[in-house]
Amino acid sequence: MSLAIEADGLGKRYGRRSALSGVDLRIPAGRVVGLVGPNGAGKSTLLGLTCGLVEPSEGRISVLGRRPGSGAEQLARVGFVAQDTPVYGNLTVAEHLRLGAKLNPRWDQELAEGRIRQIGLDPGQRAGRLSGGQRAQLALTVAAAKRPELLVCDEPVASLDPLARRGFLENLMEFVADLGVGVVLSSHLLGDLEKVCDYLVVLADGRIRLTGEADDLVAMHYRLSGGREELAELPATAEVIRAEGSGDESSLIVRSPGPVPYALRAEHLDLEDIILAYLERAASPSAVSSQSSEVRP
C-alpha cells in the first residue's frame, strides 16, 4: 500500500511549548482525509510539516515517499491552501494564473482557465475586491492547477457562508475526481467533513487520538444503553470512550472490533458523534465512570 503521509515519533516544539508530540501516522494515498481537532491541537503545525514549511524537532515525516520540501520536484507534488485562503490583493485573477505558471513546472493553464470560467470569476478583477468565497475558489484553483499528487487545505472554509462553503467543497471534490489527487482537509465544521472525507485523523493536545477509514470507524463504534450490571459485562476487546448518564440506566460510547452483547441496546454513531466523543475524552480523561473501569482496550 502506498502512503501519502508517514510519520514516526514526529514532534515539534516552539521554544518550551510542544505543538506536536509522538505522532505516529500512516495515511494511504488517494484518500480524502479529514483532520479534526480543537484550536491549539497542532493541526496547522502538522500540515506545515507535511508541506515542508516547518521542520520537525524530533522524529521523521515522509510525504509521498520523500522528505517534505526536499526540492523543487517534491514541492511541485504538494498543493497547499492555507488558512483564510490568502491571495495577492493587488494582483488580478489572470495575474495569479500567470504567476502560477511561472512558479510551477507542472502547471495546467487549460485547467486553471477552465475553472475560472466555470466559477464565473472576471480575469481582470483584482483579488482584493473578490468576495471571501471567490478568493477561496481562486486559491483552490491555483493550488490544483499545479497538478499536485496531494492537496493540503488548512481550514479553507472556516470564514465562508454556507453557500460559499458548499461551492468550495463541490469544486474540491471535482478536482479529486478529475485529477485523482489525494486531499488532507483540516476543518472545525464536522458536518462538512462527514460529507466529503473517507479517512479521519483526530488530533488533540498535540497527539493523535484516532485514525482510520471513516466507514470502518462508524462500523466499530456504538452507543450502548442498559443497566449498570449489563454495561459491566462488555467483551475484553471493547474500549470505553465515554460514559453518559448515571443511576440505574446509563449509556456508554464504546469501540468494539467485534459484536457487542445482544442484551444491550446498541446503535451505531455517526462520524460527528465519534469525533466529539474522542475530543471530549481528551479534554476530560477522567470522565469515564467507574462502572466501566474493568473494560480494557
In a domain, residue 211? The reply is no
Same domain? For 175 and 32 the reply is yes
Residue 130 lies in a domain: yes
150: which DSSP letter?
Answer: E
What amino acid is encoded at 46 in this protein? L
User: Do residues 10 and 68 share a domain?
Assistant: yes
Strand 207-213 relative to strand 221-227: parallel, antiparallel, unpaired?
A: unpaired
Task: Look up the pTM and report it.
Answer: 0.88
CATH number, domain containing residue 10: 3.40.50.300
Give how many domains the chain has, as a whole number. Answer: 2
Cell of 272: 460527528
Three state DSSP letters for 29-82 = CCCEEEEECCCCCCHHHHHHHHHCCCCCCEEEEEECCECCCCCHHHHHCEEEEC
**Is 79 in the same domain as 178?**
yes
Question: What's the average model confidence in pLDDT over 90-103?
Answer: 96
Average pLDDT over residues 231-236: 75
* Residues 54 and 12 sit within 8 Å (Cβ to Cβ): yes
| Mean pLDDT value across residues 18-39 | 95
Q: Which of 39, 34, 31 is nearest to 194 (CA)?
A: 34
Longest dimension (CA), the chain: 70
Domain that holds residue 146: 3-205
- Confidence at residue 241, expressed as pLDDT on a 0 to 100 scale: 93
Same domain, 17 and 74: yes
Higher pLDDT, 218 or 158: 218
Task: Over range 217-232, report the average pLDDT.
Answer: 83
188/238 same-domain check:
no
Last residue of a domain, one of 150, 180, 205: 205
Examine the pLDDT at 189 and tell me if it is beyond 80: yes
- 270 and 189 fall within a common domain: no
* 194 part of a folded domain: yes
Mean pLDDT over 12-30 rounds to 96
Q: What is the pLDDT of residues 135-165, one digit of tens each?
A: 999 999 999 999 999 999 999 888 889 999 9
**Nearest in space to 243 (alpha carbons), one of 174, 195, 290, 183:** 290
